[in-house]
Structure 1
Amino acid sequence: MLTVEIDSDTERILSNLTSDGRSTADVIREAIHIAGRLRWMEQARADAERLANDPDDLAEIRAIQRALGDTNAW
């Protein structure tokens, strides 16, 4: 069970989201799942940015590129 106080803007949005017949519980469950995916994607973006700027990873990439030679031939 979850009890949440919402403001008038949120109430309006919730009303719009349930206007197709979905229950408030279904809309809230979906919103929580979407928020979880968004957080996961933001974490993945931050990890990718961190790795893209990691000097050790960049050095390894350059070493692999040198070892493989001209990869544009593929």
Structure 2
Amino acid sequence: MGTLNVRTDEAMETALEKLAGEHGTRSEAVRYAVLRTYKEKLLEQAKADSERLEADPDDKAEMLAIQRFMGVAE
């Protein structure tokens, strides 16, 4: 496991303090924030992909590939 050093400002310190109160430590707060942000990005991408596929419903091969990747189709 790696280590990350981050410079903080007053706003970051306030956010870290609040999140650490909820998640136990500053490290856990940072892990939570990074993973939550990453999850949000993945969901945004999935939504964009879905909208793109809805615009072109004839692209069934790509839709099936995505479903297989997600484990909802065989």
The interval holding the TM-score normalised by the smaller chain is 0.5 to 0.7
In the superposition, relative to structure 1, how do residues 21 and 50 fare at CA in structure 2: closer, same or farther (>3 Å)? closer
Unaligned runs of 5+ in 1: 58-74
Alignment of 1:2-17 (within 5 A): 2-17=4-19
Please state how far the C-alpha of 1:8 moved relative to its aligned partner. Answer: 1.1
Q: Which residue of 2 aligns with 1:67?
A: none
In the superposition, relative to structure 1, how do residues 20 and 31 fare at CA in structure 2: closer, same or farther (>3 Å)? closer
In the superposition, relative to structure 1, how do residues 51 and 32 fare at CA in structure 2: closer, same or farther (>3 Å)? same
| Higher gyration radius (CA) | 1
- Alpha-carbon distance in structure 2 between the residues aligned to 1:28 and 1:15: 11
Number of aligned residue pairs: give it.
Answer: 58
Please state how far the C-alpha of 1:19 moved relative to its aligned partner. Answer: 2.6
Alignment of 1:13-24 (within 5 A): 13-20=15-22, 22-24=24-26
Unaligned runs of 5+ in 2: 60-74
Moved over 2 A (4+): none
Give the TM-score of the pair, scaled to structure 2. Answer: 0.66
Give the TM-score of the pair, scaled to structure 1. Answer: 0.66
Percent identical residues: 35
